[in-house]
Structure 1
Amino acid sequence: MSALQKSFARAHLQNLPPPPLPPPVPVFDEREEEDEQDHPSLSASDSSSSASSTGTIIPSPTRNLFERPRVSKSQYDSLPWQDFFDREIYLDNGATRHHAYFSAPASLDAPLFCFHHGAGASGLSFASLTAALRSAVPEAGYLSPDCRGHGETQTPENQTLDLSLATLATDLAFVINATHVQMGWQRLPPIILLGHSLGGAVVTEVAYRKLLGNAILGYGVFDVVEGSAMDALQSMESYLSSRPRSFQSVASGIEWHVRSRTIRNTTSARVSVPPLLVQNQLEDSPATWLWRTDLSATKPFWENWFTGLSSKFLSVPGAGKLLLLAGTDRLDKELMIGQMQGKYQLQVFPDAGHFVHEDQPEKTAMIVADFWRRNDRSTLVLPPKVDDLIKQGKLKPANQKK
């Protein structure tokens, strides 16, 4: 390039606008780290996951493309039990006053689903499942008691709390029969018993001891078998010591259950967690919420709850049997053999945790509704009895001469 060309180019370049500045380098903001505490963790199964089309972020002039969605604290507010059951009932048995949530069946021919919760839980553990079942079986009734030492059931403070399996089974049978009396029913409706964890052992004991006679159509056990339950007892104390001892509010207790994935369904946690907590009444202590049930104090009963559970579950004649698990690794040898022999119905929800009926209430309701229909005796067409045919003159006695 000649000197004349260089001079011409320099004169014109000076009149051009300056080049655009490079984009600013993002700076780490400590407030983002603090804000992260306000947002629930996401998993592959969440509807807000990046793998879900419903979670796609749409940019707008007033919203940053990569801004984290803010979660309202109302997400962890409690839900009232009235959204799930029609009424609560109190049933006195001596010095013990049993409390239960109840919705009556449309008729005595409709089924009555009776629940029993696990250790440390309450009758509202089955609230979300009840709501789903009421859509599938609207004519049915639902009874979900708080067992002694839990929820609103009251026992004398000066008595040692008896949580033995025999006592809990007798309590459940009493609640069902006392409801029968209070409602003025002529007979018990057909009953389906459903129990979670400890509750699974209790409903099995009620069926095994025939405490409700022939009223039981079937019973279901949720995520508990003898083998894995006995193994889990070894680590129970470590788990209890790792839990928070108190919460600043009921909402923070609900949030802990969701964030720790103890309960993976926020709606269920919002109704089932509040009964687990009670406000600290000590004047010299901060206003916190404590666990209502001291699970460590139940340790003397742990082995009693689950010893012999598998054999009892398989041996009850004349009743349908359902086992609902969160993983096949929970099966012990006796139940594996029984399953291969077709002695019970097995359903596995691998996406659920221990509270399988709370994590997956709709799926559980579908399985339970189908279980009831397959065991419904009212749909069976039985041949007439021989005695009835003889009385009607349609059949002669075997010893009568022709």
Structure 2
Amino acid sequence: MTDGNLFSDMMRKNLLESLNSKHDDDEDEEEEEEDEEETDIVGELNHKVWSGSNATDRDSRFNVTNGFEESHYQLEEWTAQTYYQPFQSESVKPVIFIAHHGAGSSGLTFTLLAKELLRISKDSQVNSGDDLDIPGFFCFDMRGHGQSKFVETVDCRDYSIQTLCVDFINILGEFFARNEFDTVKCRPSIFFIGHSLGGSILTKILKEDMIQNQFIKDCIKGLVLLDIVEEIAVKALDGMQGYIDHRPKSFASLSDALQWHLDSGLLHNEESGFISIPFLFSKRVIEGCPVYEWVTDLKSTKPYWKGWFTGLSNGFITISSRIAKMLVLSNHENLDKYLTIGQMQGKFQLVVFRNQQNSQFGHFIHEDIPNKVAYSILDFVDRNDFTRPKSVLHHDEGTSQRELIQKLNAKWGVKK
């Protein structure tokens, strides 16, 4: 969850204000006193408890089945933890979503989104009475994140965007090889989904035509970016160091970690947190007590921050027109120059979820409101994958696609 501050001005503002307010009165005191104050804050956050439960009982609530088939992809410097929900189709052109998470997160941030994509597709199949395709979903933990592991003999913490792009291309190639799509004459329609940094990585790969395998390239139909705008992301980097310095270094339980994410505004959906939060932390036992520490060392990524988003917006709108593009934002509409021009020229589809109460969702929009995001993505697929029958939103033959979308937009507060 930690890249919420990194890439959203709203998230950064909310979290830094809540944390820094505890330190405003101590700005002129000595460093030792500041350290003591930070310790008090960490202690306060670490020892929040859920009434009527002990630490062991609380943490057992996080044993939630994610619904994915899990496997390891052995790369040169690290082993990638992958998650796959296979497609259910007799078609030779099934839809598969391939998702890339952001900095400090993990592949399981997409769990509820994948479940909603599956549920909506199955409901559509039942409602239509036709044997419609059920799409697949693949994601993974990027290097230094989640359950992925570096090779013991290698001490490489290279988080440059170029390296992260190569990582993804290698994983993508391995995914295709393991499923033998070309051998079984199955040509899937691939739609990339990238959240925050993940979106920047996918944009760079497609803009610079970095995928060399022609079969794989021909399968890629679309790119969906979740809550990422270059100008906002670059500005948010200015506060990243302060965020890292002031966030709790550890938690006494996973319940405390989840509550901190909810209290700070990084996450708004407790259900999703039960699935995604455990994989952000590693557990140690100190003097008989469990301690949960962050898996990802965000400080080690600092040398690469500046390069993560450079050229993102222009790159996004200039990706080949054969690849459909959609940008999904949470509750702000701060498009920079390139995105504004691109939107006016019809280069991409824009979905903006608005919520004036600012309490339902935030930067992790796919975790906070997975149902709404899933509907938007499936509509995007229906509009842009001409190899499959239109299915997801055609519940009423008397209602046109445009009319139905307008109704959904009005209900959810979506502006396109």
Q: TM-score range by the shorter chain?
A: 0.7 to 0.9
The 3 A distance-change label for structure 1 pair 284 and 229 is same
TM-score by length of 2: 0.70
Instruction: Give the SS at the match of 1:142.
Output: strand
State the alpha-carbon separation in 2 of the partners of residues 295 and 284 from structure 1: 27
CA RMSD for the aligned pairs?
2.3
2:224–2:328 Cα contact (<8 Å) kept: yes
Question: Which residue number corresponds to residue 400 of structure 2?
Answer: none
Deviations 1:125-161 (A, max 9, x none): 0001111111123411110110011011122343221
Question: Which residue number corresponds to residue 88 of structure 2?
Answer: 106
1:61-72 pair list within 5 angstroms: none
Moved more, 325-334 or 335-344: 325-334
Question: Which residue number corresponds to residue 149 of structure 1?
Answer: 144
Question: Which residue number corresponds to residue 199 of structure 2?
Answer: 200
1:84–1:128 Cα contact (<8 Å) kept: no
Amino acid paired to 1:192: F
Compare CA radii of gyration and give the structure with the larger one: 1
1:78–1:271 Cα contact (<8 Å) kept: no
Tell me by how many angstroms 1:286 deviates.
Answer: 5.1
Question: Which residue number corresponds to residue 241 of structure 1?
Answer: 245
Question: Which residue number corresponds to residue 313 of structure 1?
Answer: 316
State the alpha-carbon separation in 2 of the partners of residues 379 and 143 from structure 1: 20
Tell me by how many angstroms 1:76 deviates.
Answer: 7.1
Deviations 1:34-65 (A, max 9, x none): xxx778xxxxxxxxxxxxxxxxxxxxxxxxxx
Q: Specify which of 265, 273, 280 is matched with residue 284 of structure 2.
A: 280
Q: Specify which of 333, 338, 343 is matched with residue 339 of structure 1.
A: 343
Tell me by how many angstroms 1:266 deviates.
Answer: 0.4
Tell me by how many angstroms 1:106 deviates.
Answer: 2.2
1:278–1:289 Cα contact (<8 Å) kept: yes
Structure 1: 5+ residue stretches without partners: 1-36, 40-69, 381-402
Question: Which residue number corresponds to residue 97 of structure 1?
Answer: 79
Q: Specify which of 148, 163, 177 is matched with residue 181 of structure 1.
A: 177
Question: Which residue number corresponds to residue 128 of structure 1?
Answer: 112
Tell me by how many angstroms 1:298 deviates.
Answer: 0.5
Question: Which residue number corresponds to residue 33 of structure 1?
Answer: none
Asked if 1:116 is matched to 2:100, the reply is yes
The 3 A distance-change label for structure 1 pair 218 and 75 is farther
State the alpha-carbon separation in 1 of the partners of residues 86 and 52 from structure 2: 37
Tell me by how many angstroms 1:297 deviates.
Answer: 1.2
Amino acid paired to 1:363: K
Tell me by how many angstroms 1:367 deviates.
Answer: 0.3
Instruction: Give the SS at the match of 1:192.
Output: strand
State the alpha-carbon separation in 2 of the partners of residues 164 and 368 from structure 1: 29
Question: Which residue number corresponds to residue 49 of structure 1?
Answer: none
State the alpha-carbon separation in 1 of the partners of residues 298 and 288 from structure 2: 22
Tell me by how many angstroms 1:110 deviates.
Answer: 1.4
Question: Which residue number corresponds to residue 27 of structure 2?
Answer: none
The 3 A distance-change label for structure 1 pair 368 and 327 is same
State the alpha-carbon separation in 2 of the partners of residues 98 and 78 from structure 1: 26
Tell me by how many angstroms 1:263 deviates.
Answer: 0.6
Tell me by how many angstroms 1:245 deviates.
Answer: 0.8
1:1-400 pair list within 5 angstroms: 78-80=61-63, 82-85=65-68, 87-107=69-89, 108-138=92-122, 139-157=134-152, 158-186=154-182, 187-210=186-209, 211=211, 212-280=216-284, 287-317=290-320, 318-351=322-355, 352-379=361-388
Tell me by how many angstroms 1:214 deviates.
Answer: 1.9
Instruction: Give the SS at the match of 2:151.
Output: coil
Deviations 1:196-243 (A, max 9, x none): 110110111222233141211100111111100100000111112221
Deviations 1:162-181 (A, max 9, x none): 11112212222222221222
Amino acid paired to 1:369: L
State the alpha-carbon separation in 1 of the partners of residues 284 and 66 from structure 2: 27
1:81–1:127 Cα contact (<8 Å) kept: no
Deviations 1:2-28 (A, max 9, x none): xxxxxxxxxxxxxxxxxxxxxxxxxxx
Q: Give the aligned length.
A: 312
1:104–1:141 Cα contact (<8 Å) kept: yes
Tell me by how many angstroms 1:365 deviates.
Answer: 0.3
TM-score by length of 1: 0.73
1:218–1:321 Cα contact (<8 Å) kept: yes
State the alpha-carbon separation in 2 of the partners of residues 160 and 194 from structure 1: 27
The 3 A distance-change label for structure 1 pair 240 and 330 is farther
Q: State the identity as a percent.
A: 35
Tell me by how many angstroms 1:102 deviates.
Answer: 0.5
Tell me by how many angstroms 1:195 deviates.
Answer: 0.7
1:76–1:270 Cα contact (<8 Å) kept: no
The 3 A distance-change label for structure 1 pair 247 and 374 is same
Question: Which residue number corresponds to residue 397 of structure 1?
Answer: none
Amino acid paired to 1:310: S
State the alpha-carbon separation in 2 of the partners of residues 366 and 348 from structure 1: 13
The 3 A distance-change label for structure 1 pair 293 and 83 is closer
The 3 A distance-change label for structure 1 pair 337 and 103 is same
Amino acid paired to 1:131: K
Question: Which residue number corresponds to residue 11 of structure 1?
Answer: none
